[in-house]
Structures are given as C-alpha cells and as structure tokens.
C-alpha cells in the first residue's frame, strides 16, 4: 500500500513539474509587438539626437524614424538578421541596412533601408519587441521564424539565451 501511495505521489509531482516547465516555455513565445508599442516608436524616433542625411529626410516618415531608431538601438539590431538578400552586399545584420558604421556622432549611412519593406519591418518589430521587455534571444527567434522564408539571411550571430 505504501508503494502505491509513493508511486501516485511521484507521478503527480512529475506531472506538475512537467506542466510548469511547459507553461514557462510557452510564455517566452512571441506573437509580435502590440500596435500601441509600434506606434509609440514614432515618438521615440523624434527624441533621437542625430542628423539624418538628405536622402533619408526625403523619404516617408516611417523610413526616417527607422533610420533614427537604428542609430539609437544598435544593441538590438546588430543581433537581428535581414532576409532581403543584402548579405550579398556585405551586410552582417539588419543594423547594416541603415548604418554601415558609426563612431559616436560620425555615421556612415547605408541606403538599403530607403526602399526595402523587409529591412524596415524587421527593424521596427525588433525594436518594438525590445521595448516590450522581450529578450534579444526571443526577439531573434521570432524574427527568424517570421522572415526566414523571404530570402538569404545575413550571417548574424545569435544572441545568448540570457540576453
């Protein structure tokens, strides 16, 4: 009788632990940024203190905002790949679709983001998801899943799970 009771308790414990781990892993699944957060990025972009080049300021406001945000969110976009084929132009991440390099306020801008919906979508969603408190690893997983079928990816390193 004691063996059966112990067996039942053990099975119940394993089941509960298994369910809690499953729930925890399901919590880290991202379904995309909220419309509210994406809209809020327009205000954030206006706060970025960087002068955009004229070839950017002639474009729609969303493109201008994404260029400003790429300057502010280097730490996010450097871990996000791009799937528009820009790997053939030497890009290493979605960040390079907007900025070739920068050292302080000295920025060498890239023109890829001017006309590319894929580049702009990846940047905007990545930054919005970061603003919502998601980890870089989870954001990257979301971006890979959502955009992976579009084309060849940049060779962007995967962030650590703790990032």
Number of structural domains found in the chain: 2
Contact, 142 vs 80, CB < 8 A? no
Give me the phi and psi of 2, to 5 degrees please: -65, -35
Q: Is the same domain home to 40 and 12?
A: no
Q: Is the same domain home to 51 and 80?
A: yes
Measure the CA angle with vertex 122, ends 116 and 126; round to 5°. 150
| β-pair partners for 111 | none
Q: Is the same domain home to 74 and 107?
A: yes
Residue 26's pLDDT is what? 42
d(CA 133, CA 126): 11
CB atoms within 10 A of CB 122: 26
Contact, 150 vs 118, CB < 8 A? yes
Q: Is the same domain home to 109 and 40?
A: yes
d(CA 139, CA 118): 16
Q: Is the same domain home to 8 and 22?
A: yes
Q: Evaluate the CA torsion angle 44, 46, 47, 48 in order and state its sign.
A: positive
User: What predicted TM-score, i.e. pTM, was given to this entire model?
Assistant: 0.81
For residue 155, tell me if it sits in a domain: no
For residue 20, tell me if it sits in a domain: yes
Q: Is the same domain home to 56 and 117?
A: yes
Q: Is the same domain home to 76 and 136?
A: yes
Q: Is the same domain home to 94 and 64?
A: yes
Q: Is the same domain home to 93 and 69?
A: yes
Q: Is the same domain home to 85 and 20?
A: no
Give me the phi and psi of 73, to 5 degrees please: -115, 40
List per-residue pLDDT tens for the chain, 163 residues long.
Answer: 555 544 434 444 444 444 433 333 444 578 999 999 999 999 999 999 999 999 999 999 999 999 999 999 999 999 999 999 999 999 999 999 999 998 877 899 999 999 999 999 999 999 999 999 999 999 999 999 999 999 899 999 999 998 8
Scan for tokens 């870089």, then name that residue. 136
For residue 140, tell me if it sits in a domain: yes
For residue 157, tell me if it sits in a domain: no
Q: Is the same domain home to 24 and 37?
A: no
Domain span including residue 55: 31-147
Scan for tokens 């394993």, then name that residue. 14
Residue 105's pLDDT is what? 78
Q: Is the same domain home to 65 and 111?
A: yes
Residue 50's pLDDT is what? 93
């Amino acid at each position: 009788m004691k063996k059966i009771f112990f067996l039942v308790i053990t099975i119940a414990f394993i089941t509960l632990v298994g369910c809690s781990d499953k729930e925890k892993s399901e919590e880290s699944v991202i379904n995309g940024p909220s419309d509210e957060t994406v809209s809020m990025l327009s205000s954030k972009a206006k706060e970025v203190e960087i002068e955009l080049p004229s070839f950017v300021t002639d474009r729609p406001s969303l493109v201008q905002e994404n260029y400003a945000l790429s300057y502010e969110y280097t730490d996010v976009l450097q871990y996000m790949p791009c799937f528009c084929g820009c790997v053939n132009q030497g890009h290493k991440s979605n960040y390079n679709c907007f900025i070739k390099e920068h050292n302080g306020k000295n920025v060498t801008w890239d023109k890829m983001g001017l006309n590319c919906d894929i580049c702009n979508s990846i940047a905007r969603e990545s930054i919005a998801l970061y603003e919502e408190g998601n980890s870089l690893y989870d954001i990257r997983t979301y971006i890979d899943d959502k955009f992976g079928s579009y084309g060849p990816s940049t060779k962007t390193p995967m962030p650590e799970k703790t990032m």
